[in-house]
A and B are shown apart, each in its own frame.
Chain A
């Protein structure tokens, strides 16, 4: 095992529950590299329900594995009680945009100083491949056998519209960029939102991509990420990078302190 894994992962919880070739494992790897740079002492992790929410459970730190969709709500309370700690939330596309969408937009609106990392794999992977708010238009899933008729959420635009002060998107095909972006997001004072497009070889691979080898899906994901800002997007492509950064808006706990004094 990698020395980082020996240092930061719970030995008794290993091996991870992720399927072979799952992008969430790469995100865990990149997160550990970020934690190694920043330091693990001040971190509290919160997660909801789903494949993605298993990610912080393996880290040797204080972790709250909460109800489905309520991760951001719990993190809001945690940050208000312990304002000197860094609170980090890991959740998935169904967790963050469907059942927990309400908590997400209101935490962004209040500018609470937490970091939300949303792992978007286009599908509800753990429950068997149902269509989620991240499922692309016209793609077949278990609950949409004739193609999904619903337009997916653009989580980045949703976060900017709701008032998040740091908004970025990366893919699990570029681990070094994830480490850098997460470091910036964690050090940012205010609501930071990072969407990570991740590959799901088991459910999304079979239903959405039509291929089940992790390497094929990895290539599709790598080729569909566009980091240059002035190029035109083709069918199925998305932009990556930091989209919005606002360091002047005061955070919620700061306003409360002023009001109390």
Chain B
């Protein structure tokens, strides 16, 4: 499960191009600062954590299913 902190996100889309499984896509929702927050497709995610490693604002947390 990918948890995106919407108020920390700056909408740079680095997580979207780093996701090899296309589980993160360009969203439609805007946060309080006006940045477009990426949308998450749960079925495609493999919890590889690449989005968490690349996020410049530490907005993304990946929680594996067995840790929930």
Contacts and interface: CB of A to CB of B under 8 A. Distances in A.
Given A23-B56, A25-B58, A26-B53, 10 more contacts: A14-B8, A15-B10, A18-B56, A20-B10, A21-B10, A22-B12, A25-B56, A26-B14, A32-B58, A33-B53
B62 to A, nearest CB: 9
B58 A5 contact: yes
User: In the complex, which range does the number of interface residues on chain A fall in?
Assistant: 20 to 34
Given A21-B14, A215-B13, A215-B16, A29 B59 contact: no
Contacts, number: 74
A175 interface: yes
Interface of A: 1-5, 9, 14-16, 18-26, 28-30, 32-33, 175-176, 201, 213-215, 218-219
5 contacts: A14-B8, A21-B14, A21-B56, A25-B58, A214-B13
Contact of B58 (A4, A20, A215): A4
Interface string B1-29: 00001001011111011000000000000
Given A21-B14, A215-B17, A2 B53 contact: no
Interface residues of B, number: 20
A29 B50 CA distance: 12
B37 to A, nearest CB: 12
Given A2-B55, A29-B55, A29-B56, A20 B35 contact: yes
